[in-house]
Amino acid sequence: MERIQRILVATDFSVRADRAVRRAVKLAAGHEAELYLLHVLPSLPLEAFKRLMVDTPLETEQPLYDQAKAALQKKAEMLAAGGVNVKYHVAIGSAHTEINQYAKSRQADLIVIGDQGETFIQEFFFGTTASRTLIKGRYPLLIVKQEPEHSYRCVLVPVDFSLPSGLALQIALKVVPTGASTEVSIHALHVVDDAKIHQRGLDAVTLELHRNQVLSQVRRDLEKTVSGYATSDHRITPMIEYGSPPDVIREKALFLDSDLIVIGKRGETELDEALFESVTKHVLFETPCDVLVVSPEQ
């Protein structure tokens, strides 16, 4: 399995962002990957300063930029001292735009950000432009929620036999370095929405027959899917559960003590609205572990 070669982690120097940086460092070390450290100075405050100080806008902007660059350089040098190949960059503009542009310019294999708290994460969940740009973006997006005390040990991948869920399985295997020192368990979970079966209005006998037929077909499809992605280095355990997909994913992640969920994102058009109606939204908000969202457009 090909390793990740370039990782971009965005930071605003907050506690949550530092946690994301530490996870990115672990991944970069495990994959021997380049690490790109990005800080984005928001453009709105700078524009406000310009309006207030029309005569000397550069004198206002330059200290802000220099301060951010010095802080980022210090962090990059500290990480490099630990043996990680680090490059850093300060950008000015909207965080979600600059993150994607910088990821494109560096051909990043993975973007890492902290969970709710940072400005660009708030935009990510609540801003229409940001949600379209980040979630609609083509780069795998890892949202770090937990303290990265160790490498990922238990990875849960919801599977519905679509292209996005197939890509999620690929990325799940790619994120876990080959030859990892700890044994990693990867679980492919398919959820059969029993409510939809009952909605057919079948009698009890017919309903049970239909339910068993669905289960048999799902089991065959899941085993076929898993066999197509499993490698000699990593075994994938197929799992089938009945219920509401968000509830089952949340409960299974807690039961397995998963530290990472990798989920494929559907290609919605009105993304900011669809996000809050989707399984992805529930996983992002209702599970305590890290979440890696994979786009079908990568």
CATH class of 1-149: alpha beta
pLDDT in tens, 2-24: 679 999 999 988 888 899 999 99
Q: Is the pLDDT at 274 greater than 50, yes or no? A: no
Q: What is the pLDDT of residue 120?
A: 47
Which residues make Cβ contacts (< 8 Å) with residue 149, sequence separation at least 6?
A: none
Domain extents in the chain = 1-149, 150-298
Give the pLDDT mean for 178-201: 72
**Stated pTM of the model:** 0.84
Q: Which of 145, 169, 133 is nearest to 294 (CA)?
A: 169
Mean pLDDT of the chain: 80
Ranges 53-57, 109-113, 228-232, 285-289: which has the least confidence? 53-57
Quick one: average pLDDT of 172-187?
A: 74
- Once rounded to an integer, what is the mean pLDDT over residues 225-239? 82
CATH: 3.60.15.10, 3.30.720.200, 3.40.50.620, 3.40.50.2300. Which one for 150-298?
Answer: 3.40.50.620
Digit-coded pLDDT (tens) for 85-133:
999 999 988 888 888 899 999 999 999 988 864 444 445 554 444 455 4
What is the distance between the alpha carbons of residues 275 and 54, in angstroms, rounded to a whole number? 41
Which pLDDT score, from 0 to 100, does residue 158 have?
A: 93
- Fold identical between 1-149 and 150-298? yes
Residues of the chain above pLDDT 70, percent: 74
